[in-house]
Structure 1
Amino acid sequence: MEIWINPACSKCRAATKAFDEAGIDYTVRRYLDDPPTAEELTAVLTRLNLEPWDVVRHNEPAAKPLKTLPREPAHRPDWIKAMVADPILIQRPIITADDRTTAIARDPETVARFIP
């Protein structure tokens, strides 16, 4: 299992704490220090069945230029490029299980789905 986190994020800390308490083996990816490639982000979006604009942190200052970018398939690569260039834009934490099940785990119920 892999979890993309920002250590400053309380939701990320809660998810890793839940995994630790459950004795779950997982790999941490500090995605601000080790940003995903466009291919990795595209794969995550595919597994989530979401579009890039669905997982952008729109309140981040870095999201300001995206406000005028159309939310349509023709501009999907532009959204992904922006997220890869400035990964603070990516919603977190993102958990991917060994079976490739992926979720944005912003609540305890979603985190619990990854704990046997």
Structure 2
Amino acid sequence: MIKIYHNPRCRKSREGLAFLEAGGHDFEEIRYLDNPVSKEELVSVIKKLGIPPQQLVRTSESIWKENYKGKSLTDDEVINAMVQHPKLIERPIVINNDKAVVARPAEKIKEIL
């Protein structure tokens, strides 16, 4: 089953959701700001993305700038920051089995279908 980590207030996230709907794909919508992900789940997502945790961080968010910018953080500390502040997680993330993409732009979803 395809999963999309979605924030309905984000235009790019809505575009990713619309891409899946337009393609007629069955998917599970995960509103990660309403129901935050566990550390284990986030680690699994990062592994499927195949990127360092830092690349999943929205570094333009004020939470990041005020608390983490310029600090030398381990991968574990970056992951903990995203678990504590889910708004820092880049979106949308689309997962299909063991593959995942940050769907910016939405057409990147094609890479995992």
TM-score strictly above 0.5? yes
What's the C-alpha RMSD, in Å, of the aligned pairs?
Answer: 1.3
TM-score scaled to structure 1, two decimals? 0.88
How far off is 1:114 after superposition? 4.3
- What is the match of residue 32 of structure 1? 33
Partner residue of 1:68?
A: 70
Which runs of 5 or more structure 1 residues have no equivalent in the other structure? none
- In structure 2, relative to structure 1, the CA distance for the partners of 1:103 and 1:2 (3 Å cut) is same
Kindly state the Cα deviation for residue 111 of structure 1 after the two structures are TM-superposed.
2.2
Would the aligned equivalents of 2:4 and 2:94 in 1 still touch at CA under 8 Å?
yes
For residues 17-49 of structure 1, the C-alpha deviation after alignment (integer angstroms, 9 at most, x for no partner) is: 111111110000001011111111111111111
Which residue of the partner structure matches residue 90 of structure 2? Answer: 91
What is the alpha-carbon distance in structure 1 between the residues aligned to residue 109 and residue 16 of structure 2?
6
Deviation beyond 6 Å, 4+ runs, structure 1: none
In the alignment, the residues of structure 2 paired with residue 49 and residue 108 of structure 1 have an alpha-carbon distance, to the nearest angstrom, of: 18
Deviations 1:54-113 (A, max 9, x none): 110000011021113215xxx11111111001000000000111x221110011330233
SS in 2 for 1:28: strand
Identity of aligned residues (%): 33
Moved more, 14-23 or 105-114: 105-114
Structure 1 residues 109 and 21: alpha-carbon distance in aligned structure 2, compared to 1, 3 A threshold: closer
Matched-pair contact (CA < 8 Å) for 2:5–2:93: yes
Q: Distance in 1 between matches of 2:15 and 2:107?
A: 12
What are the ranges of 5 or more consecutive residues in structure 2 without an aligned counterpart?
Answer: none
